[in-house]
Amino acid sequence: MKKIMIIDDDPINTQILKWMLKGKELEVITFQSHLGIEKLLDQLQPDLLIMDIQLDGANGCEICTELKMNSSYSSLPILLTSSNEEYYDEGCLADGFISKPYNKIGLFSSIDGFI
């Protein structure tokens, strides 16, 4: 079973994503903080990371770039998400962007290439 890790500091957005993915045969793991992300990735070994850009006290684009520059995580597909598309920086090495509010068809087309 494929595993998706979601990091979003808004529990409502996290629950919406989890609910939308419920129909797929996936293991969905959610966290509200980016703290300790490398340890979590090592332990859980997800097939895909979906991360909010505006995290409490952190920038998801910067975290994404740091992960992609690290050979341990460079091949991990990372999709960033935000309600404001202007926050998305294509230079951050993410594998894609998912706009909020979530659209089930758009969400599935974004993740289908990675899981």
Q: Is 5 helix (H, G, I), strand (E, B) or coil?
A: strand
Q: CATH code at 75?
A: 3.40.50.2300
User: Using CB atoms within 10 A of its CB, is residue 77 exposed (0-12), middle (13-18) or buried (19+)?
Assistant: middle
SS3 call for 27: strand
Single pTM value for the model: 0.93
98, 80 Cβ separation under 8 angstroms: yes
Q: Side chain identity at 64, as an amino acid letter?
A: C
Residue 93's pLDDT is what? 93
Tally the domains of the chain.
1
Q: Distance between CA atoms of 25 and 95, rounded to whole angstroms?
A: 22
pLDDT tens-digit profile, the chain (115 residues): 999 999 999 999 999 999 999 888 999 999 999 999 999 999 999 999 999 999 988 999 999 999 999 999 999 999 999 988 776 777 789 999 999 899 888 899 999 888 8
Range(s) of the domain holding residue 32: 2-111
